[in-house]
Amino acid sequence: MASLLHRPYNFSAGPAAMPEEVLAQAAGEMLNWPDASGKRCGMGVMEMSHRGKEFLSIYTQAEADLRELLSVPANYRILFMQGGGLAENAIVPLNLSALKKDAMGRGAADFVVTGSWSEKSFAEAGKYCQAKLAAKADGFTSIPEASSWQLNTDASYVHICSNETIHGIEYHSLPDLKTLGSKAELVIDFSSHVASRSVNWNLVGLAFGGAQKNLGPAGLTLVVVRDDLLGSAMEICPSAFNYQTVAKSDSMYNTPPTYSIYMAGLVFQWLKRQGGIAAMEAANVAKAELLYRTVDGSGFYFNPVQRDCRSRMNVPFFLRDASLNDAFLAGAKEAGLLQLKGHKSVGGMRASIYNAIPLAGVQALTAYMQDFERSHG
């Protein structure tokens, strides 16, 4: 099916496809931004003061829309920061590891390593606190049973990556630390599945994610944090990365990534027009089912991830005959299916099917996969 602007489908893992309606709207507003009443203000969004009434209205609307979409409770703060998911690997321990301290004043945190991203988080946190490995999945094709995690009583928080973008592993329900006997806070890196499904905030102390997978352009980092976790940052924490400082100034301690916030705000409005997160989740389930069914139903392709934790957003798949990889990718490009090459650390293919990829895009992909199998199988 032809897309709005006759563009190919883009399966990039991130920065990733944006909804075409949003790109078209931003193009129309690029030179001279109109307010909600349609009145043009004479400037483009990236030329505005972040403290002016025009940008403040964009900011306030974006925050309110996100709070509504993700059902963020009133006692959680939404912070629009910079630095990406990787900077948060340092910023989270700088802010939260000292919620509990030992006699030496050092905090601790537990890590569940299920793929490349949680592995990076674990390594980085060790610079700022005692980072402890609570569990690690062999080969990154499953999530260790939560009841087997070695949780430490001195841990201030437990870090998980709720969707491993590279290995295609997703928690389909979040662990309830209380029932596991832990008094720590749950921290989730939800970079690559935020806004694809609902979040049970009762279980979560802090969630963070870079915007460039499922929310908008790179440059914006979203942090959602329960307000009682603010104010325990380590002394060495940079002021611009101190959640309390950022929260007190409504993400305006320093200049926020204004254009990325505006674009994410347009995505939030688009999500509301699609019917919100429940409607997106249903669409994402249908897209993922079609793709996994196609992979599993063939003897030509395979996906090694245990079925109960397969990602709905990032679907790695492999050709059994890897010598056909280049031909597969070349044919895909020809068919209008872009950026399917798997991450270099795992090889094969990966289709990232974020919110902006319609079912028609996955149908085009699976039709191509079946054609390719018929001609090469």
Instruction: Name the residues annotated as catalytic.
Output: 117, 189, 213
14 vs 205 by CB, closer to ligand PLP: 14
Q: Which of 10, 26, 84, 257 binds ligand PLP (CB under 6 A)?
A: 84
| Helix 276-296 and helix 359-376, axial crossing angle in degrees, nearest 10 | 10
Q: How far is the CB of 38 from ligand PLP (least distance, A)?
A: 35
Amino acid identity, residue 267? V
Question: At residue 134, what are phi and psi to the nearest 5 degrees?
Answer: -85, -30
* CA neighbor of 343 nearest in space, from 84, 167, 171: 167
90 vs 365 by CB, closer to ligand PLP: 90
Residue 85 within binding range of ligand PLP, rule CB under 6 A = yes
19 vs 84 by CB, closer to ligand PLP: 84
Taking CB under 6 A as the criterion, which residues in 280-319 touch ligand PLP? none
Q: How far is the CB of 360 from ligand PLP (least distance, A)?
A: 25
Q: Which of 86, 203, 327, 338 binds ligand PLP (CB under 6 A)?
A: 86
What would the DSSP string read from start to end of 239-267?
A: GGG-HHHHHHTTT-SS---HHHHHHHHHH
Q: How far is the CB of 348 from ligand PLP (least distance, A)?
A: 18
Residue 113 within binding range of ligand PLP, rule CB under 6 A = no
Q: From CA 39, how far away is CA 42, in angstroms rounded?
A: 9
In contact, 43 and 33? CB cutoff 8 Å? yes
User: What's the CA dihedral at 287, 16, 112, 200 to 10 degrees?
Assistant: -60
Q: How far is the CB of 208 from ligand PLP (least distance, A)?
A: 9
Q: How far is the CB of 103 from ligand PLP (least distance, A)?
A: 33
Residue 213 within binding range of ligand PLP, rule CB under 6 A = yes
Find the helix or strand (DSSP H, E) in which 164 lies.
strand 163-164
Residue 350 within binding range of ligand PLP, rule CB under 6 A = no
* CA neighbor of 120 nearest in space, from 56, 167, 76: 167
In contact, 56 and 262? CB cutoff 8 Å? no
Q: From CA 280, how far away is CA 272, in angstroms rounded?
A: 10
SS in 3 state form for 329-370? Answer: HHHHHHCCEECCECCCCCCCEEEECCCCCCHHHHHHHHHHHH
Q: Which of 93, 205, 210, 216 binds ligand PLP (CB under 6 A)?
A: 210
Q: How far is the CB of 113 from ligand PLP (least distance, A)?
A: 13
Residues 1, 349, 175, 199: is their CA dihedral positive or negative? negative
Question: At residue 259, what are phi and psi to the nearest 5 degrees?
Answer: -70, -40
- Per CB under 6 A, which region of 80-88, 196-204, 244-252, 293-301 contacts ligand PLP? 80-88
Report helix, strand or coil for 75.
coil
Cβ neighbours for 326, distance < 8 A, ≥ 6 positions apart: none
Q: From CA 374, how far away is CA 377, in angstroms rounded?
A: 6
Q: Which of 12, 82, 156, 191 binds ligand PLP (CB under 6 A)?
A: 191
Q: How many residues bind ligand PLP (CB under 6 A)?
A: 12
- Per CB under 6 A, which region of 47-55, 79-87, 238-246, 366-374 contacts ligand PLP? 79-87
Binding-residue pattern over the window 150 to 189 for ligand PLP, x denoting contact by CB under 6 A: -----------x---x-----------------------x
210 vs 265 by CB, closer to ligand PLP: 210
Q: Which of 12, 14, 135, 194 binds ligand PLP (CB under 6 A)?
A: 14
120 vs 272 by CB, closer to ligand PLP: 120
Residue 63 within binding range of ligand PLP, rule CB under 6 A = no
Q: How far is the CB of 311 from ligand PLP (least distance, A)?
A: 10
Interacting residues toward ligand PLP by CB under 6 A? 14, 84-86, 117, 161, 165, 189, 191-192, 210, 213
